[in-house]
């Protein structure tokens, strides 16, 4: 029995919660079936840190990131592209908390692709990826972050 291969940036769906930490299993009824992106690993790769998709207000306890055992996940081995993550840009915010706009921020920058200053989310030392599919994604950033769009 070998753990599924997963890397940061992989997409994954929570199939069951049998092996994950108790704190995660406590919310199994809400978490099973949800999808997200692996944004980090813990315990030397024994656990995946999964950032769930969707509006954070709709997520269990309003928490986006959950620690999940890889055996509980169905992992897409390839990193994301089908679902809108560019993989290259961090998520940055402008505006106020309630009306924040999500910008694509290149590494080591504090300005979104659209030119607006955006503050990256400093969460536990790493940054969330920019998702062009996010409800509040900046349309200009989304367009610039996905060169394929509009080239038909
Ligand atoms: Zn922008």
Alpha-carbon gap, residue 101 to 98, rounded angstroms: 9
Whether residues 66 and 107 fall in one domain: no
- Give the per-residue pLDDT at 31: 95
Q: Which of 64, 79, 94 marks a domain boundary?
A: 79
Q: Which residues pair with 37 in a beta bridge?
A: 11, 51
Residue 95 maps to a domain: yes
Residue at a domain's end among 53, 79, 105: 79
Please list all protein residues whose beta carbon sits less than 5 angstroms from ligand 1, which is an ion: 103, 112, 114, 138, 141
Q: What's the total number of domains in the chain?
A: 2
CA 116 / ligand 1 centre spacing (Å): 6
Residue 17 belongs to domain spanning: 10-79
Q: What is the pLDDT of residue 106?
A: 81
Q: 60-69, pLDDT tens digit by residue?
A: 999 999 999 9
DSSP 110-151: SB-TTS-B-EE--BTTB-PEEETTSTTB-HHHHHHH-TTTT-
3-class secondary-structure state, position 75: strand
Distance CA 16, CA 31 (A): 9
User: Does residue 151 belong to any structural domain of this protein?
Assistant: no
**Residue 5 falls inside a structural domain:** no
* Ranges in the chain, pLDDT < 70: 1-5, 76-87, 121-127, 147-152
């Amino acid at each position: 029995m070998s753990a599924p291969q997963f890397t940061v940036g992989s997409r994954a769906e929570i199939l069951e919660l049998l092996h994950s930490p108790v704190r995660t299993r406590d919310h199994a009824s809400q978490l099973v079936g949800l999808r997200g992106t692996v944004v980090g690993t813990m315990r030397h790769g024994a656990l995946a840190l999964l950032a769930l998709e969707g509006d954070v207000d709709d997520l269990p306890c309003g928490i986006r990131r959950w620690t999940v055992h890889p055996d509980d996940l169905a992992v897409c081995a390839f990193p994301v592209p089908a679902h809108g993550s560019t993989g290259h840009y961090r998520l940055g915010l402008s505006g106020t908390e309630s009306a924040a706009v999500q910008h694509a921020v290149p590494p080591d920058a504090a300005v979104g692709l659209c030119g607006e200053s955006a503050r990256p989310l400093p969460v536990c030392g790493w940054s969330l990826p920019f998702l062009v599919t996010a409800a509040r994604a900046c349309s200009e950033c989304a367009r610039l972050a996905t060169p394929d769009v509009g080239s038909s």
